[in-house]
């Protein structure tokens, strides 16, 4: 099935990520059947989707996009029976995921791709109980999926290349920026990159080199501004001036290697946890997380609009 055929999506699990995916799929003009066994899940979902809707509304809804295209059932099997693509967002536990996939696989038409949003589990382990493991893929979004374009796609040992191709094509066609991971690895790519940065950030706090607020300033008012525009390698290339990447690797490579050897390997001791949570509370200085989230999303919309008008950026 190609993307142009896909008009009906099932969203399985409607917590933080499922609700955000639901808003995105609806904004793309798709029909969504959502399911979640939790008490009050439908009310929560409709409230979350209504809250998220202001982003796609501001950025432009696809023709036919409507909140009326959302339906909900607590019955998992009924939700996926007529789906043409399934996005799974259940709890991040291998035993729960594997059982969920066994049920989804038994209930969904055998040619339909089932994508998991899992932040770190391996699809090879998730798909073990499926009769049709060939259509099970990872489709890992970045929070919030209704705004952030990245989706990481990778197959497990039993996944067919066609399922990966369908997922990549579907995500790209609805405006996402999917990347295809050639090998499974715990935490995928983007979370491992974040984890590498967090590791050193926690280490620097542990050493007393900088405060929590200094570290957030160092990223949010420093390289973070460039990273939103170009990735680490193209930024490195630009740091090399006329000589580009080759010059910078010759010039700064030995220094970078020496920093790598000096990087930390902290543990989340109770003391370090306290230092970080106290530092975060100090930085918040009474600001609400909700207010910051609203402002962050408004700036993200502006940034995404600006980026889409800059065709020279890859």
Ligand X SMILES: NC(=O)c1ccc[n+]([C@@H]2O[C@H](COP(=O)([O-])OP(=O)(O)OC[C@H]3O[C@@H](n4cnc5c(N)ncnc54)[C@H](O)[C@@H]3O)[C@@H](O)[C@H]2O)c1
* Closer residue to ligand X, CB minimum distance, 95 or 312: 95
Minimum CB separation of residue 2 from ligand X in Å reads 26
Distance from C-alpha of 178 to C-alpha of 171, rounded to nearest angstrom: 6
12 binds ligand X (CB under 6 A): yes
Interface with ligand X in residues 108-147 (CB under 6 A): 117-119, 140-141, 143
CA torsion angle 269 92 56 176 (round to 10): 100
Interface with ligand X in residues 49-108 (CB under 6 A): 76, 89-92, 100
* Closer residue to ligand X, CB minimum distance, 76 or 204: 76
Supply the angle between the helices 270-284 and 190-207 in degrees, to the nearest 10: 100
Nearest to 239 by CA among 226, 221, 228: 226
Nearest to 67 by CA among 132, 19, 138, 4: 19
194 binds ligand X (CB under 6 A): no
* Closer residue to ligand X, CB minimum distance, 45 or 248: 45
Distance from C-alpha of 186 to C-alpha of 189, rounded to nearest angstrom: 9
36 binds ligand X (CB under 6 A): yes
Q: Which stretch binds ligand X (CB under 6 A): 16-24, 206-214, 272-280, 281-289?
A: 16-24
156 binds ligand X (CB under 6 A): no
Residue with tokens 């798709």: 30
Minimum CB separation of residue 247 from ligand X in Å reads 37
Which tokens hold the place of 75? 């019955």
Binding site for ligand X (CB under 6 A): 12-18, 36-38, 76, 89-92, 100, 117-119, 140-141, 143
């Amino acid at each position: 099935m190609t993307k142009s055929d896909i008009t009906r999506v099932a969203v399985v699990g409607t917590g933080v990520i499922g609700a955000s995916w639901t808003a995105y799929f609806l904004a793309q003009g798709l029909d969504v059947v959502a399911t979640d066994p939790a008490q009050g899940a439908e009310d929560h979902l409709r409230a979350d989707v209504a809250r998220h809707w202001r982003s796609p509304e501001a950025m432009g809804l696809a023709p036919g996009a409507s909140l009326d295209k959302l339906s909900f059932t607590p019955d998992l099997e009924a939700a996926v029976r007529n789906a043409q693509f399934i996005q799974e967002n259940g709890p991040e536990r291998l035993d729960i995921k594997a059982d969920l996939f066994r049920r989804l696989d038994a209930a969904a038409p055998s040619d339909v791709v089932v994508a998991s949003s899992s932040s770190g589990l391996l699809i090879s382990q998730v798909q073990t109980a499926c009769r049709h493991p060939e259509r099970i893929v990872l489709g890992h979004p970045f929070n919030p999926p209704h705004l952030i374009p990245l989706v990481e796609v990778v197959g497990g040992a039993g996944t067919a290349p066609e399922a990966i191709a369908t997922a990549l094509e579907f995500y790209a066609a609805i405006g996402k920026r999917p990347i295809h991971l050639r090998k499974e690895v715990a935490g995928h790519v983007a979370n491992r990159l974040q984890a590498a940065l967090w590791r050193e950030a926690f280490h620097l706090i542990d050493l007393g080199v900088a405060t929590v607020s200094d570290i957030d300033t160092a990223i949010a008012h420093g390289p973070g501004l460039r990273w939103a525009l170009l990735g680490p390698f193209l930024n490195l290339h630009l740091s090399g001036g006329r000589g580009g990447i080759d010059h910078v690797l010759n010039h700064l490579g030995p220094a970078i290697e020496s920093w790598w050897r000096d990087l930390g390997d902290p543990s989340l001791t109770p003391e370090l946890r306290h230092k970080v949570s106290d530092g975060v509370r100090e930085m918040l200085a009474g600001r609400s997380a909700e207010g910051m989230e609203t402002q962050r999303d408004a700036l993200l919309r502006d940034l995404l609009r600006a980026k889409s008008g800059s065709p020279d950026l890859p």
